[in-house]
């Protein structure tokens, strides 16, 4: 162990020198259209996010850097299975957490002993995943935490010391595990944005792969120079919001979701840059990232399908977190879920990503039998079809109705409903148990001045309900009627959709 | 009204004479293979049952014959829509309730004033449905109640007087509304079997249509000459049970379901007759027959699909009750459900009915972590795969596991589970609210001596849960694990199925 440390230190100084002497690499340019890295990101569109590491074996979501490397001990480590599953499920890339906030590295890094090489299972996971990606024809992307709770240089008064550590590790990753198509930086809130050397990291990455897309979580703020984050769902205006971390090729904020009116132009020092958005969501209905001992239920296929469309539309992209468990394999039932989703979506490496139908209800007049009283009208009926999954209608009564006025010449054959869920946070600070309120409900349309029920359910709605019709309907009014609920019902979004033209 | 009564009485005597003079018609013959009527019934296989009449407008399921005809008052009667819906849904015949126990006739009968002709809406519904069946290319069948709570002759001391009334009405039906492919007699429990003149009714029907299949509800008994009914799920031995009503071309008992081992040979006076079974179930998850004011939720498509396979298999048939509402139309959401079912099943008038896959778990050894203590072992684990939807496993604890030993060379890609439901009977004496117990559960298979979870759900199970896998599994042990339940879990049947060869 002592020998290894010495060896690592020599390399540290050496590689740092190389990194600093390269300043000719590509830098982000003002633009209103995607650059090569962004075009590649948009084309990829759909990736599998893999959280695996020390936290898989702890009872917290973010271990503090003192957990011994020996705690990392998968009994049946199988990275080939991860990537094979990704391929079967139609993902186009795999985004691997190479180092989380705890600082533990999934590869044998020359610059630290806090890595798999010091653990009971010494497999170089980064190499194994990168190799499997080549084998299965997928692209390879990495998540790398800026924040490092273990590495001593992180606490050095001179920020450059830790920046050099990162430059060295990224050099290792790019020289031994490439090509890497994307870097997802996280944990930036632990330092001033300017103290991370983002420009140096960006330049280094671009030197190795100009087409690599780079970003830092919580990319965008309300006011230049502040840390006031801008919710992705509010990014509906060009040239209004600012980079927090510059340069970045795309926007990030897990697990937030943009609106139907997402815009792409963001400001930095008076200039405007094009930035797509990459969504990151969990397969688990409990919104967990690391898969620990407990088996967690997955989101419904309907919800995943609608989120897929929502998140990959409009030149944005989506990664779904499918974490391996303590044995080192993706659980069979979770693999089954993403594979079935891919089948449903008809994903194929050679075809463009599928799209949802036309939302004929978007922004149409909506009224409700009741709205929860709020001086800012935060819960009015109009939020139900505003194209945002953050805003919502909330009724004042348990029994409630909501009516949307439609253009009677618009046909529809599908309705998707995202219901607000009461959540109970679990002790790890991330997981949550989600409980809906709506138990029985109907969809009615106005026909010859009479309400006709076209769908009736006596089953709890859940996060997302999709209703499909064999034929098409047309009406000037569509009503959502809650027949039974355990609390005043609330909907994020109710979308009336025509996807008849998309069917084969 | 008085004039009409007179006119009817004249016809009564006249037609009665005709009926009595025809005794040369076909009679049921001992056989071990289906006769022409039975062959046609088996080939039809799937029909829409329509309950519509006075009870649609009352608050009871069986009105007592005193409800005035004026109560029958549909506002938008549309029998063409009923049959059009049947056609779209892939049904091959329509079975119409022409007269229920209340005696109210859906056609303008010469022999009574208690019919549609005396009501506010005089449309001859039997004619309208029969005509629509011709228009849409479906076969037409009738339900006719033996028991008549209105007709005065029913109370005559001489049973033949009322038998003559029935002979006359059946003559009307067969001469004006034919061809009629099937007659479903009901209410036989109100008289001794020999007092209904079943042989006379049968002969009359066969005179008009030798290929018409005839039966009386509760066809079969345990001992000849008794009224001890035999549950259809117990009919697993040939030549053990007896006709109650002879002759009958098939067996009936709504809404009972046969087993995977249904037999076809039944005894009458020492001779053995071939008898298929016709299932009758409700579309409504509340098991209602008449659709009154309240909108009722429908069974899930998974449940309907599995029941379809179960009930039409093995040369038996199924009718699903899809009742019109007070307006006189089948409700749109109910029509949607059967049409979607037909689409799922891939029904087509020119193709044989689709079949389920192979049940690889049937009768294989099953054990459970607990079984409810019962001296007759009524609830043991082995009932979970005995091919019967009447028997069930019941655990003693809320948390429970059930294991089925399989042949590891047998592949499977589907599991269907019928869960026992606690039921609350509603005041009409028929409807019930059904509540399941199992809230969270998994399916695990033994692989390399470890349990691997291949499916996990945190949603209430409901009457029937179908789990489909994209690929196939093989294992020597499959485990059903209840993670959360509101009461000791109980399953009617858990079937491990291979339908991979059925897919296109």
> Tens digits of per-residue pLDDT, A475-504?
999 999 999 999 999 999 999 999 998 854
Percent of chain A at pLDDT exceeding 70: 94
The Cα of B332 is separated from the nearest Cα of chain A by a number of Å equal to 5
pLDDT tier for residue A26 given thresholds of 50, 70 and 90: low
* A194 φ/ψ angles, rounded to the nearest 5 degrees: -75, -15
Q: Which two tokens stand for residue B219?
A: 């066809």
Angstrom CA distances, A65 to A102, A104, A149, A159, A256, stand at 4, 8, 5, 19, 27
Candidate from A452, A458, A460 with C-beta closest to B332? A452
Q: What residues in chain A have their Cβ under 8 A from chain B's Cβ atoms?
A: 285, 295-298, 300, 331-333, 336, 339-340, 343, 440, 442, 452-460, 462, 468-471
Q: Give the pLDDT mean for A402-406.
A: 98
Chain A partners of B471 at a C-beta cutoff of 8 Å? 339
Continuous segment of H or E residues that includes residue B205: helix B198-208
Contact pairs from chain A to chain B, CB under 8 Å: 65
The Cα of B429 is separated from the nearest Cα of chain A by a number of Å equal to 21
Task: Give the integer Cα–Cα distance in Å for B75 and B114.
Answer: 19
Q: What is the pTM of this model?
A: 0.93
The Cα of B160 is separated from the nearest Cα of chain A by a number of Å equal to 48
The Cα of B294 is separated from the nearest Cα of chain A by a number of Å equal to 12
Task: Give the integer Cα–Cα distance in Å for A7 and A163.
Answer: 20
Candidate from B285, B333, B455 with C-beta closest to A453? B333
Assess whether pLDDT exceeds 70 at residue A6: no
Decide if A454 and B332 are in contact by the 8 Å CB cutoff. yes
- DSSP tag of B185: E
pLDDT digits (tens, 9 = 90+) for B400-431: 999 999 999 999 999 999 999 999 998 888 88
pLDDT digits (tens, 9 = 90+) for A78-130: 999 999 999 999 999 999 999 999 999 999 999 999 999 999 999 999 999 99
Residues in contact with B453: Cβ distance below 8 Å, sequence separation at least 6, in sequence order: A295, A331, A332, A333, B442, B443, B444
Decide if B336 and A295 are in contact by the 8 Å CB cutoff. no
Task: Give the integer Cα–Cα distance in Å for A171 and A153.
Answer: 17
pLDDT of residue B442: 98
- By CB neighbour count within 10 A (0-12 exposed, 13-18 middle, 19+ buried), where does B1 fall? exposed
pLDDT of residue A14: 44
pLDDT digits (tens, 9 = 90+) for A302-348: 999 999 999 999 999 999 999 999 999 999 999 999 999 999 999 99
**Nearest chain B Cα to A295, which residue?**
B456
Is the distance from CB of A189 to CB of A218 less than 8 angstroms?
Answer: yes
Residues in contact with A180: Cβ distance below 8 Å, sequence separation at least 6, in sequence order: A130, A140, A141, A142, A173, A174, A205, A208, A209, A212
Is the distance from CB of B245 to CB of B198 less than 8 angstroms?
Answer: yes
Q: What residues in chain B have their Cβ under 8 A from chain A's Cβ atoms?
A: 285, 295-298, 300, 331-333, 336, 339-340, 343, 440, 442, 452-460, 462, 468-471
Q: Return the number of other C-beta atoms located less than 10 Å from residue A88's C-beta.
A: 17
Decide if A456 and B340 are in contact by the 8 Å CB cutoff. no
pLDDT digits (tens, 9 = 90+) for B472-501: 999 999 999 999 999 999 999 999 999 998
pLDDT of residue A312: 98
Candidate from B296, B332, B453 with C-beta closest to A331? B453
Q: Which two tokens stand for residue B32?
A: 């071990």
Decide if A456 and B295 are in contact by the 8 Å CB cutoff. yes
Task: Give the integer Cα–Cα distance in Å for B467 and B417.
Answer: 9
> Among candidates A108, A154, A110, which has minimal Cα distance to A14?
A110
Decide if A456 and B297 are in contact by the 8 Å CB cutoff. yes
pLDDT of residue B102: 98
Helices A301-312 and A332-345 cross at an angle (nearest 10°) of 60
pLDDT digits (tens, 9 = 90+) for A292-303: 999 999 999 999
pLDDT of residue B5: 45
Candidate from A298, A332, A470 with C-beta closest to B452? A332
Decide if B336 and A440 are in contact by the 8 Å CB cutoff. no
Domain ranges of chain A: 2-345, 358-503
pLDDT digits (tens, 9 = 90+) for A262-276: 999 999 999 999 999
**Nearest chain A Cα to B483, which residue?**
A295
Query: Which residue, chain included where needed, has tokens 């959540």?
Result: A423
Q: Which CATH architecture has domain A2-345?
A: Alpha-Beta Barrel (3.20)
The Cα of B135 is separated from the nearest Cα of chain A by a number of Å equal to 22
**Nearest chain A Cα to B436, which residue?**
A459
pLDDT tier for residue A17 given thresholds of 50, 70 and 90: very low
Low-confidence ranges of chain B (pLDDT < 50): 1-25, 504
Test mutation, B300, B456, B460, chain A, max A CBs within 10 A = B456
The Cα of A464 is separated from the nearest Cα of chain B by a number of Å equal to 13
pLDDT digits (tens, 9 = 90+) for B72-101: 999 999 999 999 999 999 999 999 999 999
In this structure, the dihedral spanned by the alpha carbons of residues A222, A225, A228 and A231, taken in order and rounded to 10 degrees, is 40
Domain A358-503 indexed as CATH 3.40.50.1820: no
């Amino acid at each position: 162990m002592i020998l290894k440390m010495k060896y690592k230190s020599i390399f540290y100084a050496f590689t740092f020198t190389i990194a600093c002497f390269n300043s000719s690499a590509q830098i982000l340019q003002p633009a209103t259209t995607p650059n090569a890295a962004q075009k590649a990101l948009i084309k990829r569109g759909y990736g599998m996010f893999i959280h695996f590491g020390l936290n898989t074996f702890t009872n917290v979501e973010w271990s503090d850097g003192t957990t011994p490397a020996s705690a990392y001990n998968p009994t049946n480590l199988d990275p080939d299975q991860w990537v094979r599953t990704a391929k079967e499920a139609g993902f186009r890339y795999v985004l691997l957490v190479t180092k989380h906030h705890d600082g533990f590295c999934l590869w044998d890094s020359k610059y630290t002993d806090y890595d798999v090489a010091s653990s009971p299972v010494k497999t170089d996971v980064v190499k194994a995943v990168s190799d499997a990606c080549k084998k299965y024809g997928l692209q390879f992307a990495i998540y790398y935490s800026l924040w490092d709770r273990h590495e001593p240089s992180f606490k050095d008064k001179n920020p450059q010391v830790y920046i050099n550590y990162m430059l060295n590790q990224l050099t290792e990753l790019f020289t031994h595990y490439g090509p890497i198509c994307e870097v997802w930086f996280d944990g930036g809130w632990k330092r001033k944005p300017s103290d991370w050397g983002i420009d140096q990291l960006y330049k280094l990455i671009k030197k190795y792969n100009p087409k690599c897309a780079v970003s830092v979580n919580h990319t965008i703020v309300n006011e230049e120079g502040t840390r006031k984050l801008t919710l992705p769902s509010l990014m509906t205006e060009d040239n209004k919001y600012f980079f927090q971390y510059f340069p970045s090729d795309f926007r990030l904020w897990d697990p937030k979701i943009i609106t139907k009116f997402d815009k792409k132009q963001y400001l930095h020092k008076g200039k405007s840059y094009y930035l797509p958005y990459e969504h990151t969501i969990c397969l688990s209905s409990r919104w967990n990232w690391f898969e620990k001992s407990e088996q967690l239920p997955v989101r419904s296929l309907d919800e995943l399908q609608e989120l897929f469309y929502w998140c990959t539309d409009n030149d944005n992209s989506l990664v779904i977190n499918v974490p391996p468990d303590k044995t080192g394999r993706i659980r069979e039932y979770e693999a089954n879920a993403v594979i079935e989703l891919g089948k449903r979506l008809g994903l194929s490496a050679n075809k463009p990503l599928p799209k949802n139908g036309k939302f004929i209800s978007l922004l149409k007049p909506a009224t409700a039998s009741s709205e929860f009283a709020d001086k800012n009208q935060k819960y009015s009926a109009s939020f139900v079809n505003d194209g945002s999954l953050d805003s919502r209608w909330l009724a004042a009564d348990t029994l409630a109705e909501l009516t949307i006025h439609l253009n009677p010449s618009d046909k529809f054959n599908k309705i998707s409903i995202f219901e607000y869920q009461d959540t109970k946070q679990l002790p790890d600070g991330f997981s949550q148990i989600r409980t809906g309120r709506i138990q029985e409900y109907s969809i009615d349309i106005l026909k010859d001045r009479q309400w006709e029920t076209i769908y009736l359910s006596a089953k709890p709605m859940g996060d997302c309900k999709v209703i499909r019709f064999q034929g098409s309907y047309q009406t000037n009014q569509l009503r959502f009627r809650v027949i039974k609920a355990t609390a005043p019902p609330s909907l994020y979004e109710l979308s009336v959709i025509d996807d008849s033209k998309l069917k084969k």
